[in-house]
Structures are given as structure tokens and as C-alpha cells.
Amino acid sequence: TSPCGRPKGVTPKYSLKPLVPRLSELLGVDVVMANDCIGEEVEKLATALPDGGVLLLENVRFYKEEEKNDPEFAKKLASVADLYELDYLVGAVANPKTPFAAIVGGSKVSTKIGVIESLLSKVDILILGGGMIYTFYKAQGHAVGKSLVEEDKLELANSLIEKAKSKGVSLLLPTDIVVADNFAADAESKAIAKKLADITAKGVTTIIGGGDSVAAVEKAGLASKMSHISTGGGASLELLEGKTLPGVLSLDNA
């Protein structure tokens, strides 16, 4: 199963059913599709699944409980499976190949504090991009014009820079910016996606997480060039922060 879009209840255009033909082709088996992601029908289909069979569950976001991290909903999801594959995300962070680098973007530092602080204890190189860089620039005394700045996060920005230095982490900010009359929101993302695709071809492991980042890579037509694309949306970032996710906890308890 997977989240898809932001549906308000069951919404046909966000169904995962269109994935069945392509998924069957890629896996070389006839993928069975359930009409739900929890419940009696799902349990029966899972029980009847032969060795090597594949069952695709419906969009988990058809339930409002998914985005609310509802523990009971998580238990129902976990009840039909014995193993949940988290190796790429958990393994990459727990036992990373070195040098280990992370790229974090976003318009505001405040929404990425947890991820940045968590990564500073794990990575060798941390690259920051997006609108948040102007808060770091101003904190360092640079002029930023009318660019977006979180005035109440200047001290935090400086503390993150100092924390990176104390841990021996290379915290990299863009060395130049482009001044324009309008803003092409995906310009930076396209360039980064292209570079990531290039280094993946040279043997580097690349993992894309976070809804906006995944969407940008897919829009650039480069998703298939990456090592792994997380479909967990913001949950993948919460996992990197070290937060306990109800779905994962339910699986652990099971």
C-alpha cells in the first residue's frame, strides 16, 4: 500500500488501481488488488496469497486516521503482514556508507529543525537549499534583500552552524544565488535531481524522501535513476528525525 494525494475520504482519482498493470509487469507476477487497506477482505486476500504472490492494498489516505498517526489504524495495517521493509531508510542512516551526505531544502528552518539536528549527528556533509538559506545568510551578516527570513530563528541558524563545526560536519550553503523578477519554484530541484541521477549512475546510493522532493524528481523524469524513492511522504523525514511512527511501532510489537 501507499499514500497518494490528499483525498477527503474515498476518492477514485487517487486509487492505486491504475498501478496494477505496470506493477505486475515489473514484478513478473499477477498483482492482486484489494478494495481497501484494512478489514476482513484484506485479511482474506492476504491469507490466500500464494508463495511469491503480491497483494496491493488501496490508498491508506482514504482513511483520515492515516495522517493523524492513529495507533489503532496502524495496528490494523500491521496485522496482515509479518515484515515491513524499511531497510533503505533505516539502514542508510544506521549503517551508512561514507562519506554520508544529506541535502535538505524547504522554505523555513523551523519546519526542518528536527531533521537537521538529527542528521548532524549522522552525516559527514549536510547541504542546505531552498528558502531557508536566507535565514542562515542573514545570521552570518549577509544582506538578503526582501528574501524570506525567519527573524526569530537567526540565533538557531548560528547554533546549527556551530554544532556542525563541533561535530566535524561540513555544512554547505549555496555560494551564489540568482536574482530574478519571478521565481521558478522547481529550478533548483531540477538541477539537483539531474546531479543526483548522474552520481547514482556512478555507484552512489541516492534516497529521495519527503513529498515535495519525490514530486520534483518525478516531474523531472528522473525517479527511475535514483536508488530508492520513498513513498512515505513526510513520514520518511519523521523517521530520519528519530521519531516513533505508530505504524512501525505496531509492527515491532507484532
| Entry field: residues in the chain | 254
Which fold is adopted by the domain 87-242? Rossmann fold (3.40.50)
DSSP secondary structure letters along 71-120: HHHHHHHHTT-S----IIIIIHHHS--SS-EEEE--S-STTTHHHHHHHH
- pLDDT value of residue 230: 80
| pTM (2 d.p.) | 0.68
Q: Between these two residues, 190 and 164, which has the higher pLDDT value?
A: 164
Alpha-helix residue ranges (DSSP H) falling in the chain: 19-27, 40-48, 64-67, 71-78, 92-94, 113-120, 133-139, 154-166, 187-201, 211-219, 234-241, 246-253
Instruction: Give the three cell numbers for residue 68.
Output: 493523524
Residue range 12-81 in CATH 3.40.50.1260: yes
Query: Residue 53 corresponds to which cell in the numbers above?
Result: 504472490
- pLDDT tens-digit readout, 30-79: 999 999 999 999 999 999 999 999 999 999 999 988 878 788 888 898 88
Q: What is the residue extent of each domain of the chain?
A: 12-81, 87-242
Instruction: Give Cα 88 to chain centroid, integer Å.
Output: 11
- The average pLDDT across 132-137 equals 94
